[in-house]
Chains A and B, each alone.
Chain A
């Protein structure tokens, strides 16, 4: 089974900071990687799929990239609405694996 290792587990940052979250796959998965944002008490929200494609309506300060088995979610300039938990997800047909999440908190 493919494992997704997400880091860090918690990240403290200030409004305006550039933030980077990493997800590493245990083997090559191509671009089959998505990112979700989840706020407390709410359902997750799809941000990015195909490693770097922004879901409709997602602000352009969010971006995704891939290099081999390492995937990165970047928030270009952190906004107050961005303090949340972020999850990566590998998808392949009808099989899914989530990372353990990164909580972005206020510094």
Chain B
């Protein structure tokens, strides 16, 4: 069955960096677009980034402003999110999620999330 395990979250100071990972299993990872979605404490869901199956195409939410980089290793079935220049506003649980198709581009499977806390 489809399964994701995220890791890499933690406490970091403003201006610091973190690299999140999302290990996938149960499907042909390289056949699917993947996304990152975040949720600040007590707040709603916010789309962060997506990457195409081959890694050739990526995009980011406006708030990223060149600070984050999404990548993937299809040989290792792993999705990454490199986050630099972190601010307190980036504090959130970060989820990876799968996009089943372009025509129905919902998020059909999600990881359990990893918490990123940015604080001095």
Contact = CB atoms under 8 A, between A and B. Distances in A.
Interface stretch (A17-25, A75-83, A90-98): A90-98
B105 A92 contact: yes
B26 interface: no
Interface stretch (B10-18, B71-79, B82-90, B109-117): B109-117
A53 to B, nearest CB: 9
Interface string B23-55: 000000000010100000000111100100000
B53 to A, nearest CB: 12
Contacts of B106: 34, 46, 49, 89, 91
Interface residues of B, number: 22
Interface string B63-104: 000000000000000000000000000000001010100101
A36 B35 CA distance: 16
Contacts of B45: 36, 38, 44, 87, 89, 98, 101
B3 to A, nearest CB: 12
Given A43-B95, A87-B44, A101-B44, A94 B105 contact: yes
A49 B59 contact: no
Contacts of B59: 94
Given A43-B113, A87-B45, A101-B44, A94 B102 contact: yes
Nearest to A34: B106
B47 A96 contact: yes
14 contacts: A36-B45, A42-B112, A43-B111, A44-B45, A46-B107, A89-B106, A91-B104, A93-B105, A94-B33, A94-B99, A96-B47, A98-B44, A99-B44, A101-B45
Given A44-B110, A91-B105, A97-B47, 15 more contacts: A38-B45, A42-B112, A43-B95, A43-B113, A46-B106, A49-B104, A89-B45, A91-B106, A94-B33, A94-B59, A94-B102, A96-B35, A98-B44, A98-B46, A100-B44
